[in-house]
Amino acid sequence: MIQEEKIKQCLRELVDTDSDIYNYATPKGLKELRVNIAKYLDKKLNSKVNENNILITSGSQQSIYLLSRVLSNQGDTIASEEPTFFGAIAVFKEIGVEVLTVEINDDGINLNELREKISSSHPKFIYVVPTFHNPTGISWDNTQRKDFLKIINEYGVTVIEDDPCSELNYTDDDFKTLYELNEGKNIIYLGTFSKLICPSLSVGYILADNAIIERLYEYKLLNDMNTSLFIQKFVNLYLEKYNIVEDIAMKKAQYQKNARLIKEKLSNEFDNISFSNMRGGLFMTVNIPKSVQPTSPYDTNHYDARMQDFIRADVSKANIDELVDTINIKYKLKKRSTS
């Protein structure tokens, strides 16, 4: 059965059989869903997870916002990769923290720069997307993850590990989560089902120790009180009725095909572009020569400066014509000769 039909069946079943969907949820989230997420994470993280250590959120953006509020205050210093998820940048700027950026490349985060900045500035936390990074699609190898954790443990820095789509692995490599490698120590783990079921769900979750979950609960009350009970029950029913592994396999096949089409089309269209080493997930970057400047400056309230050097391509959509138009408008890049 295609995923669209599964979604329709779940929606019909909820509306026909569950009158509770019209009520409010508790701020911490539907218990049945937290139990099912805990079972899911038991296998994924190779760790025994308690549902009481999980808070349901209205998507990853809210997860980042709530944690930033709990872990930092205006004027504090935090750290992140550069480039990183633009939604996280917007949150950090809104809260008013100073962001130490640590460069990443196709091999992962720069560990020498990380140690130097952590040792000198002692950030409140570091936000990272080590598996199928947004926006580049790269992944740190497991050796680098272990070396990263040695530095983190040495300085006692809290890590927010954002892991929205590690299931969408296009390689045979087994990328271990930081949470698993460090047995949960110093790691707050973020996940979502919107990348695996459908984007409009906006259901995420935070896995953290009890003290942090209790503080998050208080901020959740202030932020939106609760995540939609209807959406939570839908996700829970979907997880109980269907094997999500089948959906993941179909998505992986389609997204890999889209990535190949994007690379082929753009390489044939423009001179001197290159692509990030995408190994899974939804995103890769179309890298623009540094000698070519954008026609208008980037909004640094929402993007870091390095983002002017690339266009983010979303491989869940084969929006090739849109990417060509974006490159033409923003960079007026020289087209490949057809002679």
Task: Provide the pLDDT for residue 305.
Answer: 59
Measured CA distances, 207 to 53, 56, 187, 225, 332 (Å):
6, 9, 9, 19, 45
- Residues 141 and 201 reside in one and the same domain: yes
Domain boundary (241, 276, 302) is at: 241
Structural domain includes residue 73 = yes
Helix, coil or strand: residue 230: helix
CATH code where residue 315 lies? 3.90.1150
Structural domain includes residue 14 = no
- Residues 177 and 158 reside in one and the same domain: yes
Structural domain includes residue 6 = no
- Residues 234 and 298 reside in one and the same domain: no
Residue-wise pLDDT for 195-221, tens only, equals: 999 988 889 999 999 999 999 999 999
Q: In total, how many domains does the chain have?
A: 2
Structural domain includes residue 164 = yes
- Residues 60 and 176 reside in one and the same domain: yes
- Residues 104 and 62 reside in one and the same domain: yes
Q: What distance in Å separates the CA atoms of residue 208 and residue 186, rounded to the nearest whole number?
A: 9
Task: Provide the pLDDT for residue 302.
Answer: 44
The Cα angle at residue 245 between residues 167 and 258, in degrees rounded to 5 = 60
- Residues 134 and 50 reside in one and the same domain: yes
Structural domain includes residue 336 = no
CATH code where residue 64 lies? 3.40.640.10
- Residues 162 and 290 reside in one and the same domain: no
- Residues 267 and 323 reside in one and the same domain: yes
Task: Provide the pLDDT for residue 297.
Answer: 61
Domain residues for the domain of 281 are 245-331
**Which residues, given as ranges, of the chain have pLDDT below 50?**
301-303
Domain boundary (210, 241, 272) is at: 241
Structural domain includes residue 17 = no
- Residues 257 and 206 reside in one and the same domain: no
Structural domain includes residue 34 = yes
- Residues 228 and 260 reside in one and the same domain: no
- Residues 97 and 63 reside in one and the same domain: yes
Task: Provide the pLDDT for residue 89.
Answer: 94
- Residues 199 and 302 reside in one and the same domain: no
